Amino acid sequence: MRKKLIAANWKMHLVPGEARALVSALIADLGRETFTDREVLVAPAAILIPEVKDALRGSSIILGAQNMFYEEKGAFTGEISPTMLLAYDVYHVIVGHSERRHIFGESDELIGRKVRAAIDHKMTPIVCVGETQQEHDSGRALEVVLRQMEGALGSLTDDEAGGIVMAYEPVWAIGTGRTATPEQAESMQGAIRGAFNERFGRAAAQIVRILYGGSVNADNVDSLLSKPDIDGALVGTASLGADSFARIVRARAAK
């Protein structure tokens, strides 16, 4: 059985004291619970990584990053390199989030280079794909998602592909309060797994984890995780409260 991953994307929120308080409250809420069927990850803004790393000391919660450039060093003002993240024991990085694509203009080719860099540095990329409202309404959702997948994963071998994490995040559901129905999400995530099977083989398709993201909250997470192809959640706003995120972490999953 694939181990679930519940990942918090804090986006551009919190200052160091707030981040530390959130981590402390989350650890206190979860207490000494041991989850054998899931992992929990938080991805703070890059400037908060040292503070959060310290606050997580002794916890099983994984520290991740929201973004990464593909070069190790150089004249790339404002960017964060793989080696910088690794210096803080960050081995998971979100790549290709829709906000990076649509606000900052990241192309499929650029995202593919970031994925390649993560793999080359023994990191786990959480690769985001998803369609806009217009693409969804015009019936092009699957076409868009498969194009994004090919751009992001085109350089990977079958063995490498099985070790990544995918996240299906329909753009029309991110930060809008709307969410795909469990049936809509399961249909797309099943299609993503099918595309994995064709591109990378059955073994990779069986082990790759595919998360759902897009206004995930304490009220809808159980129904989403009840679907067999939804292997966890990428959580935005609801991860900024310890109570709501702890509830999501404890969500019931498909047997």
Q: Which residues are the active-site residues? A: 97, 169
SS in 3 state form for the chain? CCCEEEEEECCCCCCHHHHHHHHHHHHHHHCCCCCCCEEEEEECCHHHHHHHHHHCCCCCCEEEECCCCCCCCCCCCCCCCHHHHHCCCCCEEEECCHHHHHCCCCCHHHHHHHHHHHHHCCCEEEEEECCCHHHHHCCCHHHHHHHHHHHHHCCCCHHHHHCCEEEECCHHHCCCCCCCCHHHHHHHHHHHHHHHHHHHCHHHHHHCEEEEECCCCCCCHHHHHCCCCCCEEEECHHHHCHHHHHHHHCCCCCC
Q: What is the spatial distance between Cα 72 and Cα 106, in angstroms, rounded to a whole number?
A: 19
